[in-house]
Amino acid sequence: MASSLTKDSADPSTEKTFFGHPRGLATLFMTEMWERFSYYGMRALLVYYLVSGGADAATGSQGGGLAMTAATTTAIYSVYVSMVYLMAMPGGWFGDRVWGARKTVAIAGFVIMAGHLSLALPGQAMFFVGLILVAVGSGLLKANISTMVGHLYDGPEDPRRDGGFTLFYVGINLGAFVAPLVVGTVGKEHNWHLGFALAAVGMGLGLTQFLLGTKHLSPKSSIVPNPLSAQERKAVLTKVVLAVVAIAVFYGAVVALGAYTLNWALVPLTLAGLFIPIAVLTRIKRDKDLSGAEQSKMTAYIWFFIAAAVFWMIYDQGGSTLSLFADDKTADTVFGLGFSATWYQSLNPLFVMALAPVFAWLWVWLARKNQEPNTIVKFAMGLVLIGASFFVFIVPMGMAGDGTKVSPMWLVSIYMIQTIGELCVSPVGLSVTTKMAPQKYASQMMGVWFLAVTAGDCITSLLSIGGVDLNGTWVIAFQALAAALAGFAVYAYRKKVQALMGAVH
């Protein structure tokens, strides 16, 4: 009888398969599932731990946190998420030029686990050390594990390839769905540090699965595709050492003068998260090696990039602004049964798993009728939907103004609208990135796409640092209007953008 994860081939001499796919997919599926369990479990706790004990914490909530304001909490959360995606670019570089994908993922697993263990220890210093380690490790892993999935198949034309990535995507969302229910509940309702420790256990299970299953992975995953020469390695090491020394001296001086505050860390990281995407896009756009057609596509791609940044600016507040509202102003019972506010973080992966197959079928069905919206229209739909979610958010915010606890169904509706918007933007954006990437930057453009998330979250962080109350009704309304107008602008200029895209649709 076949196991739940693998099944024997009809030919006993061949290796077991994972639902008809290479056995190595099971290894990568489980590794990514547990990594996402650890990441989303920790993320579900993050804002609550930061505000715990402070003036912006919900009445009766658990103490023992860092007692920060909602504004500072949102800034830290946004910077943290932006850095995870920013680190995907150097993570891919390490896989391509230093360690190879397999070694990079293994090291990343240890770094992530060390980060969660640091969070499990009390103290503000260990907390920030933990965040840095998790961000660096997640960036290293995120950029390379998908590459390893691709290595399992016989090139882009392998008919199993798309199905393999779909299964892999299920693993991501399965881990993300379970994590807030387990890690979130234990951490928020019982003990913060025990919750963070459970996240470390999750990453430990994923790492163990990966190390035991490496024999099933493609030999390509161990190869360094474009290794650094001895001279290049020395130059990189020198630059890194000089940068670390300069930063250490600068911040040492700031601390010695007694001038250090948290903004000395948040502001530079936020600005870096905004300037680096601009610099990367500018460098590619100005590259004289690109053909005229590639230059045209890059001009069109900038439209998609800006639209995605606006989308993620609002979408990622599901873990900050909406989380704080869930804890403080939303009822925590349904039909008399109580639940933790962290459970709301399970809604998005649940909706993704439920709706992604529906959308995949819908696009194919519309394509057969020659009515499928093109990429530009899908992006416009995503922006309008993310704006609509915040227009809906204004209603429960008004209802809760007098201290009334609103129905959980308001947040359920908001997260569902945002997920529908995500399905119009995220998979479509990944696809259009691969189609429009200049040949010279084919392997780097996926990292460029993730920089849109970095830019969007850094805009949120900059607003919080600047004193803007992101929990205010007028600010929510302004963001909703900005996203909706951006969606209409993209739609209005669709013919111009399509002309720049050439044959890409």
42, 49, 237, 351 from 313: Cα distances, Å:
20, 22, 35, 20
- Out of 193, 227, 261, pick the residue that ends a domain: 227
Instruction: Give the pLDDT score at 92.
Output: 87
Q: What is the DSSP string of 302-356?
A: HHHHHHHHHHHHHHGGGGTHHHHHHHHHB--EETTEE--GGGGGGHHHHHHHHHH
Residues 189 and 284 in one domain: no
Residues 338 and 433 in one domain: yes
Instruction: Give the pLDDT score at 8.
Output: 40
Residues 178 and 309 in one domain: no
Average pLDDT over residues 434-462: 87
Whether residue 311 is predicted with pLDDT greater than 80 in this model: the reply is yes
Contact 386, 435 (CB under 8 A): no
Residues 328 and 426 in one domain: yes
- Per-residue pLDDT tens over the stretch 38-95: 999 999 999 999 999 988 888 888 888 999 999 999 999 999 999 999 998 888 888 8
What phi and psi values does residue 338 have, to the nearest 5 degrees? -85, 155
In this structure, is residue 235 part of a structural domain?
Answer: no
Q: What is the mean pLDDT of the chain?
A: 90
Residue 158 burial by Cβ neighbours in a 10 Å radius (0-12, 13-18, 19+): middle
In this structure, is residue 201 part of a structural domain?
Answer: yes
In this structure, which amino acid lies at residue 64?
G
- Out of 159, 194, 227, pick the residue that ends a domain: 227
Instruction: Give the pLDDT score at 10.
Output: 40
| pLDDT band, very low/low/confident/very high, at 2 (cuts 50, 70, 90) | very low
Residues 184 and 318 in one domain: no
Average pLDDT over residues 106-131: 95
**Percent of the chain scoring above 90 in pLDDT:** 68
* Partners of 18 in beta bridges: 21
Instruction: Give the pLDDT score at 205.
Output: 96
In this structure, is residue 308 part of a structural domain?
Answer: yes
Half-sphere exposure at residue 366, Cβ-oriented, CA atoms within 13 angstroms: 11
In this structure, is residue 412 part of a structural domain?
Answer: yes
Instruction: Give the pLDDT score at 269.
Output: 94
In this structure, is residue 40 part of a structural domain?
Answer: yes
Residues 404 and 470 in one domain: yes
Contact 206, 32 (CB under 8 A): yes
H-helix or E-strand containing 142?
helix 124-151
CATH of the domain at 188: 1.20.1250.20
Instruction: Give the pLDDT score at 143.
Output: 79
Instruction: Give the pLDDT score at 156.
Output: 64
Whether residue 1 is predicted with pLDDT greater than 80 in this model: the reply is no
Residues 197 and 293 in one domain: no
Instruction: Give the pLDDT score at 443.
Output: 67
Contact 411, 330 (CB under 8 A): yes
In this structure, is residue 406 part of a structural domain?
Answer: yes
In this structure, is residue 237 part of a structural domain?
Answer: no
Residues 156 and 44 in one domain: yes
- Out of 227, 259, 286, pick the residue that ends a domain: 227
In this structure, which amino acid lies at residue 149?
V
Instruction: Give the pLDDT score at 354.
Output: 93
442 vs 267, higher pLDDT: 267
Whether residue 381 is predicted with pLDDT greater than 70 in this model: the reply is yes
Residues 304 and 204 in one domain: no
| pLDDT band, very low/low/confident/very high, at 505 (cuts 50, 70, 90) | low
Composition of the chain by helix, strand, coil, percent to 5? 75, 0, 20
- Per-residue pLDDT tens over the stretch 239-286: 999 999 999 999 999 999 999 899 999 999 999 999 999 999 999 999
Instruction: Give the pLDDT score at 213.
Output: 93
Nearest CA among 441, 91, 98, 498 for reference residue 280: 441
Q: How far apart are CA 398 and CA 418, in angstroms?
A: 20
| pLDDT band, very low/low/confident/very high, at 15 (cuts 50, 70, 90) | low
Highest mean pLDDT among 16-25, 244-253, 493-502: 244-253
- Per-residue pLDDT tens over the stretch 326-349: 999 999 988 888 899 999 999 999
Q: How far apart are CA 477 and CA 389, in angstroms?
A: 10
Contact 77, 320 (CB under 8 A): yes
Q: How far apart are CA 391 and CA 410, in angstroms?
A: 12
Domain count, the chain: 2
Residues 180 and 288 in one domain: no
Instruction: Give the pLDDT score at 403.
Output: 87
Residues 219 and 280 in one domain: no
In this structure, is residue 253 part of a structural domain?
Answer: no
Instruction: Give the pLDDT score at 312.
Output: 96
User: Which residue range forms the structural domain that includes residue 88?
Assistant: 16-227
Token pair listed for 377 = 């229209």
Nearest CA among 486, 459, 452, 457 for reference residue 308: 452
Instruction: Give the pLDDT score at 421.
Output: 96
Token pair listed for 292 = 């005229």
- Per-residue pLDDT tens over the stretch 156-190: 667 787 778 878 888 999 999 999 999 999 999 99
Residues 480 and 369 in one domain: yes
Instruction: Give the pLDDT score at 351.
Output: 96
Average pLDDT over residues 20-36: 92
Contact 35, 28 (CB under 8 A): no
